[in-house]
């Protein structure tokens, strides 16, 4: 088995990406739950190189900070105002040489006077999100096995417009790479293109970079000119050609970003389906790269799984459900709902139209039903919040039931407080629990209650005002209506004359007025 290793990986992330038409640097745009730079660094670290260096220029501080967040050990090279990939790599090599010399000094070795970095150096673009570590590994191993000075990753495309062309010599080696704007008519007919992904011997790269100029149509320092320089010195320059061009496709605008996002998603879904996950409609199902799924998970149409969501065996998600950083345990069901940073226990049921905010923890066989919102709430085993409720900053014990329309009032405008509901509690419909409040085990509350004080175990908490019926109110205040007709029929009386009733309205009592202020037709 080949044990090729890279001395360094250089990720080029200095471009502005003007065609993205965005205030966000191109490499920070996302797909599949990672930035483009995040995808590049993931592929780079799969090689387990000694060092990774990211070259920045446009919005340098923002890109550098993101790179360090993803990979704390990353080196950052700041490209100066001289344009071109050759200049970018030269800036990176200076940083890498400095790091290698510093390591040598720490180890008591004499630093090399010509540059401390030795061995294969992988150079790749930061905007090629479908490039994977396996392809980079194959390129590196071919480079080492063939003892090349330079190895170029290439592919063939139907329309090579805009790409650098691979010009081979009679032996099949790469003689040079010609940029599209510098190509002659014969070279423009070549359909083998440069992916801008290479492996260089460090010494060859260093020598070639020192000889680069800007004598080309764009006035830039081309890294590709190192190829021709190496060949002129008799060095071996070969290409590894891959079959699928989309692996090395770059992002230049948002249309290409969408195209590659869809391709990545299809790759992710295909891999999971092979592992035993049912995806009913891949065209409407989106799963991020860091999501983990187990066998016999079913994803229904309209499902989106983001971040580090995990779904255990036998769970069913969807349709029309979005989960972000959610743990779904075995056999759970989530239907037409949205959840973030929450846990859904084994056998639990969520939805439809539930909203689980961060900190929600639904226990085994529990239920969060239709039009329920939860936040920082622990809902115990077999506990149910079936519908039309808000549960925030609360603990709901095992086998308890929260009646429809219940609100946990957790905020007084200044501070948030918590409530505790014990085991086997029954909360009546249309309750308000004003935190902080505790309902003991086995407690009940009456429908329509506002619970401001603790309810002891086994007690009934009730806070309603006594109901008062105002007899004859409809006849006096709604004469001539269908309600008056129905009431008269039910009572077996003749409805009063509306004219007579209207004349007497000036003498109405306060009890005649509807407490809710309603008027006819509302």
Q: Which tens digits make up the pLDDT trace of 312-365?
A: 999 999 999 999 999 999 999 999 999 999 999 999 999 999 999 999 999 999
User: So what's the pLDDT on residue 215?
Assistant: 73
Taking 70 as the threshold, does the pLDDT of residue 311 lie above it? yes
Residue 516: band (very low, low, confident or very high) from pLDDT cuts 50, 70, 90: very low
Mean per-residue pLDDT, 280-294? 99
Residue 512: band (very low, low, confident or very high) from pLDDT cuts 50, 70, 90: low
User: So what's the pLDDT on residue 82?
Assistant: 84
Taking 90 as the threshold, does the pLDDT of residue 403 lie above it? yes
HEC string for 29-93: CEECCEEHHHHHHHHHHHCCCCEEEEEECCCHHHHHHHHHHHCCCCEEEECCCCCCHHHHHHHHH
Residue pLDDT, tens place only, 248-276: 999 999 999 999 999 999 999 999 999 99
Q: Residue ranges per domain, the chain?
A: 8-248, 282-461, 473-512
Which three-class secondary structure state does DSSP give residue 319? coil
User: So what's the pLDDT on residue 391?
Assistant: 99
Secondary structure E strands in 60-208 = 75-78, 120-125, 150-156, 165-168, 174-178, 192-201
Taking 80 as the threshold, does the pLDDT of residue 508 lie above it? no
Peptide bond into 40 cis (omega under 30): no
State the residue for tokens 């689980």. 356
* Residues facing 121 on adjacent strands: 8, 200
Which residue in 147, 143, 164, 146 sits closest to 155, CA to CA?
Answer: 164
Kindly state the percentage of the chain with pLDDT values over 70: 94
User: So what's the pLDDT on residue 113?
Assistant: 56
CA atoms within 13 A on the CB side of 516: 4
Looking at domain 282-461, its CATH class is mainly beta
Residues classed as catalytic: 387
Taking 60 as the threshold, does the pLDDT of residue 507 lie above it? no
d(CA 435, CA 258): 47
pTM of the model: 0.89
Which three-class secondary structure state does DSSP give residue 473? helix
Taking 60 as the threshold, does the pLDDT of residue 520 lie above it? no
Taking 80 as the threshold, does the pLDDT of residue 518 lie above it? no
Residue pLDDT, tens place only, 429-475: 999 999 999 999 999 999 999 999 999 999 999 997 888 999 999 99
Residue pLDDT, tens place only, 221-234: 889 999 999 999 99
Lowest mean pLDDT among 90-104, 281-295, 391-405: 90-104
Q: Mean of the per-residue pLDDT values for the chain?
A: 93
User: So what's the pLDDT on residue 515?
Assistant: 47
**Fold (CATH) for 8-248:** Spore Coat Polysaccharide Biosynthesis Protein SpsA; Chain A (3.90.550)
User: So what's the pLDDT on residue 114?
Assistant: 63
d(CA 255, CA 328): 34
Mean per-residue pLDDT, 9-33? 96
Kindly state the percentage of the chain with pLDDT values over 90: 84
């Amino acid at each position: 088995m080949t044990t090729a290793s890279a001395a360094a990986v250089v990720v080029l992330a200095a471009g502005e990406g003007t065609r993205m038409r965005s205030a966000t640097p191109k490499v920070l745009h996302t797909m599949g739950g990672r930035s483009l730079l995040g995808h590049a660094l993931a592929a780079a670290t799969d090689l387990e190189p000694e060092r990774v260096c990211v070259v920045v220029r446009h919005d340098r501080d923002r890109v550098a900070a993101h790179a360090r967040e993803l990979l704390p050990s990353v080196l950052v090279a700041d490209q100066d105002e001289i344009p071109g990939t050759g200049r970018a790599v030269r800036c990176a090599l200076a940083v890498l040489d400095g790091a290698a010399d510093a390591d040598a000094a720490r180890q008591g070795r004499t630093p090399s006077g010509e540059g401390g970095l030795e061995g294969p150096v992988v150079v790749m673009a930061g905007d090629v999100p479908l490039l994977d570590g396996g392809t980079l590994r194959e390129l590196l191993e071919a480079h080492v096995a063939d003892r090349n000075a330079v190895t170029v990753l290439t592919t063939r495309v139907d329309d090579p417009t805009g790409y650098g062309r691979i010009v081979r010599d009679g032996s099949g080696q790469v003689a040079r790479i010609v940029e599209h704007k510098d190509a002659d008519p014969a070279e423009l007919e070549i359909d083998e293109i440069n992916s801008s992904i290479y492996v260089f011997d460090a010494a060859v790269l260093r020598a070639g970079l020192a000889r680069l100029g800007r004598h080309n149509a764009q006035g830039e320092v081309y890294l590709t000119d190192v190829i021709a320089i190496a060949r002129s010195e008799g060095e071996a320059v070969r290409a590894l050609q891959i079959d699928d061009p989309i692996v090395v496709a770059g992002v230049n605008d948002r249309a290409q970003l969408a195209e590659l996002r869809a391709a990545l998603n299809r790759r992710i879904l295909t891999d999971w389906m092979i592992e035993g996950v049912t995806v009913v409609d891949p065209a409407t199902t989106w799963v991020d790269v860091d999501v983990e799924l187990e066998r016999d998970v079913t994803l229904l149409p309209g499902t989106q799984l983001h971040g580090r969501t995990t779904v255990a065996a036998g769970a069913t998600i969807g349709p029309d459900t979005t989960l972000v950083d959610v743990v779904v345990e075995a056999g759970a069901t989530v239907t037409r709902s949205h959840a973030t940073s929450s846990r859904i226990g084994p056998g639990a049921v969520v939805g439809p139209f539930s909203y689980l905010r961060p900190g929600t923890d639904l226990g085994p066989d529990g239920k969060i039903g239709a039009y329920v919102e939860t936040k920082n709430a622990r809902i115990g085993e077999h506990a149910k919040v079936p519908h039309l409720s808000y549960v925030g900053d609360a603990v709901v014990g095992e086998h308890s039931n929260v009646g429809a329309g219940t609100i946990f009032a957790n905020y007084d405008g200044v501070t948030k407080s918590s409530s505790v509901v014990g085991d086997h509690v029954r909360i009546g419909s249309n309750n308000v629990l004003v935190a902080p409040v505790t309902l003991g085990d086995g407690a009940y509350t009456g429908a329509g209650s506002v619970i401001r004080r603790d309810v002891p175990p086994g007690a009934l908490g009730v806070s309603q005002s006594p109901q008062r019926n105002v007899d004859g109110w409809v006849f006096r205040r709604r004469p001539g209506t269908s309600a008056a007709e129905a009431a008269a029929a039910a009572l077996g009386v003749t409805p009063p004359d509306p004219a007579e009733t209207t004349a007497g309205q000036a003498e109405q009592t306060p009890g005649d007025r509807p407490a809710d202020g309603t008027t006819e037709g509302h």
